[in-house]
Homo-oligomer: A and B are copies of this chain.
Amino acid sequence: MKANKPTIDEIARKLGISKMTVSRAINHPEKVGKKTLERVTQIMDEMDYKPKLVARVMAGSESKTIGFFIKPNKDFIIPPFYGECVKGATDWLKMLDYSTLIFNASEERSKKLFVDYVNSNLIDGAVVFEGSYDETLLKALKNNNIPAVSVGEENAGEFDIPTISADNYTGSLRAVTHLVDVGCKKIVHITGKGEKPSYDMRSRGYMEVLNKNGLEPKIIRTENTVEGGIEGVDLLLKSGVVFDGIFCFSDLVAWGALKRLYNTALKVPEDVKVIGFDNIPLAEYTTPSLSTVSQNMREMSKFAVGMLIQIIGGKKPEKEHLKFDTDLVIRESTEKVPERE
């Protein structure tokens, strides 16, 4: 039943030549006689021969594969922000003739598999995303001398790997300034629990703008998920705080905020304006559609991947912490009032 996979030896034997010639026909065809090359090619085809990757890698070949570490959240195996980054990176890696492989940063088994792969040279480097690094993981990367770059967070704490991120501070300046511009006087900020540079930076931008405009700040902390947004607005409503603008840490949170506001007397954007951060594809699909600060995930990850390839190649990259500029994207949730037909 099981078709045994042919080996290079069988191919060689069938042709009455040495397996080295076959190997060369595959990897350095120019070093093989034209006639032999043809015969080899044909019989490899016939027998559906494929060299075993493991044998190749064991013999010292590069695997040309990059691993991505991503931490799922409650609703997404690959949260939209990372998804965009992966798309960008994959597209770029394809041009460099690299494959990509995604690992689940929340699963012990997956983490272990990754370390095994690296250890076996099945993976040449890693891209770890904002939120996906914990101590175990980064320690493993370090101990195994695995080239790695981080995307989405401004620094990687105690681990000195290069980081590529949006400029969160100026991004939040843009967002909150926009809210002020469209007339908000009581702006609330919903951000995440815990300690992340991005939480900190975006809060800082928020505080800055509010101070400059003599407005009273109010920060709510929930999970960075749709549910977190729902919960955030819920807390606001219950606390009786009056507000006419919400700056959410992420589009997911903003989505939750919109969702919760929908079932109240407060209309968006008439009574409350909501703005998010990231510009994930779904931001277009919320009701009303979501204004946000756009991170250029594609560009960021493209850059990150380029850097990673350089490190793998042995070069030290110059810039260790790179910040990309952001764009304000205005949609219905802060300005345009949808026209009802």
Contact = CB atoms under 8 A, between A and B. Distances in A.
Interface of A: 1-3, 5, 48, 50, 52-55, 57-58, 65, 72, 74-78, 80, 83, 86-87, 90, 94, 98-104, 107, 109-110, 112-113, 115-117, 119-122, 143-145, 226, 255-256, 258-259, 262-265, 281-282, 285-288, 338-341
A145 B3 contact: yes
Nearest to A265: B341
Contact of A53 (B65, B119, B339): B119
6 contacts: A52-B120, A58-B58, A77-B86, A78-B83, A90-B104, A286-B287
Contacts of A109: 94, 98-100
Contacts of A115: 50
Q: Which of A83, A86, A109, A117 has the most CB of B within 10 A?
A: A109
B281 A74 contact: yes
Contacts of A86: 77
A226 B80 CA distance: 14
Given A53-B120, A99-B109, A75 B282 contact: yes
B122 A54 contact: yes
A112 B113 CA distance: 20
B264 A287 contact: no
A53 B341 CA distance: 63
How many copies altogether? 2
Contact of A262 (B72, B255, B281, B287): B287
A340 B263 contact: yes
Contact of A102 (B52, B55, B74, B102): B102
A235 to B, nearest CB: 16
B263 A339 contact: yes
Contact of A113 (B3, B101, B287): B101
Q: Which of A2, A48, A94, A99 has the most CB of B within 10 A?
A: A99
A287 B289 CA distance: 11
A53 B113 CA distance: 9
A273 to B, nearest CB: 17
Given A120-B52, A120-B53, A78 B75 contact: no
A159 to B, nearest CB: 16
A118 to B, nearest CB: 9
Given A99-B110, A100-B109, 9 more contacts: A52-B58, A52-B119, A75-B281, A76-B78, A76-B83, A77-B83, A101-B103, A262-B287, A286-B287
